[in-house]
Structure 1
Amino acid sequence: MSDPITDRELIEKIKKGDTASFTLLVNRHKNYALTIATRITLVREEAEEVAHDAFIKAYSSLHQFKQDAKFTTWFYRIVVNMAISRVRKKKLSTIDIDQSNYAGADNSSQEKFDARDRSQLIQDAMRQLSEDDRMLISLYYLEELDMEELSEISGFDKNNLKVKLFRARKRLGQILQKSRELESVIH
């Protein structure tokens, strides 16, 4: 049995007009692109649009892709940039009241957060971070990219990236601490 076709081989076929190869490339990377976009936009429908638009941009820009780089790094950078742009454009719109941290909180007593409550608390805290902070934390901790890949995708040099990641973690920790303090006051 032969080895599976590589991204580079697919790209060469796409450049020669093979649209079926582009379908294979999309199918290979669509889940990860959607995951990255969702972590940045925080809205599944928006993330789907970002991922779709990123594939279109990648297709039209394949002639700019340098074969000495990994396709995934190049492509995920497109996804990240498009997701951040989408979020920045949306900041001009109003905030949905249902997304506020403690909308509808009642006085019922809860002894401890279960895993679902902690997950929601973290999601709420992530929404309060800047797009860059959210991207760095998501890609490093949730997607488990190494510093090299994260540097290539984010465009930050490694030393600057370490500082930015440290500060993003610190801001997330402060938001979570405030949320815990508020929760203890409510209950």
Structure 2
Amino acid sequence: MEINDIDIIIEVLDGNTDKFAILIDKYKNKIFKIVSMHVPQDYVEEVANDIFFKSYKSLKTFKNDSPLINWLTVISIRTCKDFWRKKYAQKDMPMSSFSEETEQTIEQGIDYRTPEDNILGEEKYKMLMKAMEYLKPVERTIISMMYAEERSVAEIASITGMTESNVKVTAFRARKKLSEILNTMM
């Protein structure tokens, strides 16, 4: 018999903190999948750990009005946005300033999934992921949620706190920008 999430949360809040490991084991694959769609592969584990740490620290705020995975998804998206805010705060270097070898290393680090999981083919997928880096974090989040996670506009609006209209407009603009970036790269 599987213990439900709310029972585990109650035990954790009552001081049995070791029980939180059950929630980590239950949701780690879903969280890793979400994170791998939003940050470079080299940072997935670090960001996922941040997510579980933040969720543990704010467990008392879980209201049980929706499934725990929805609450964890919101924390995941926000943590991924925080990751990119920190990255954007650092001084950027243009790709042209790197050697060809360094550029290839960077491109290899962008491959979030294995080529077998990718219907586009390895090279096209790498190009798409490289182009995604030029989008704003909110644009990247919406595009990833819409296409990689196959979420509806209503779900994305609920998770991000945006209106459905804003999600649609942002997705439209992001697709247009992504198309321009890809055309430039080709």
Determine the structure 1 residue equivalent to 2:66.
69
Is the alpha carbon distance of 1:38 and 1:126 closer, same or farther for their aligned partners in structure 2, counting shifts above 3 Å?
A: same
Is the alpha carbon distance of 1:84 and 1:174 closer, same or farther for their aligned partners in structure 2, counting shifts above 3 Å?
A: same
**Amino-acid identity (%):** 31
Pick from 145, 164, 174: which aligns with 1:168? 174
TM-score by length of 2: 0.78
Determine the structure 1 residue equivalent to 2:140.
134
Q: Residues of 1 paired with 2:91 and 2:156: CA distance?
A: 31
2:37 alignment partner, SS class: helix
Q: Does structure 2 retain, via aligned residues, the 8 Å contact 1:58–1:75? A: yes
Residue correspondence of structure 1 range 14-163 to structure 2 within 5 A = 14-42=12-40, 44-95=41-92, 104=100, 115-163=121-169
Determine the structure 2 residue equivalent to 1:185.
none
Is the alpha carbon distance of 1:157 and 1:7 closer, same or farther for their aligned partners in structure 2, counting shifts above 3 Å?
A: farther
Q: Does structure 2 retain, via aligned residues, the 8 Å contact 1:40–1:135? A: yes
Shift of 1:39: 2.5
Q: Residues of 2 paired with 1:143 and 1:6: CA distance?
A: 25
Shift of 1:96: 6.4
> Which letter maps to 1:150?
I
What is the number of residues matched between the two proteins? Answer: 168
Q: Residues of 2 paired with 1:18 and 1:45: CA distance?
A: 32
Larger radius of gyration: 1
Q: Residues of 1 paired with 2:121 and 2:51: CA distance?
A: 33
Shift of 1:26: 0.7
Is the alpha carbon distance of 1:166 and 1:9 closer, same or farther for their aligned partners in structure 2, counting shifts above 3 Å?
A: farther
1:41 alignment partner, SS class: coil
> Which letter maps to 1:21?
K
Q: Does structure 2 retain, via aligned residues, the 8 Å contact 1:14–1:21? A: yes
TM-score by length of 1: 0.77
Q: Which runs of 5+ in 2 are unaligned?
A: 102-119
* Alignment deviations for residues 128-184 of structure 1 (CA, whole Å, 9 cap, x no partner): 11111111111111011222321222111222212211221221112112222xxxx
Is the alpha carbon distance of 1:7 and 1:159 closer, same or farther for their aligned partners in structure 2, counting shifts above 3 Å?
A: farther
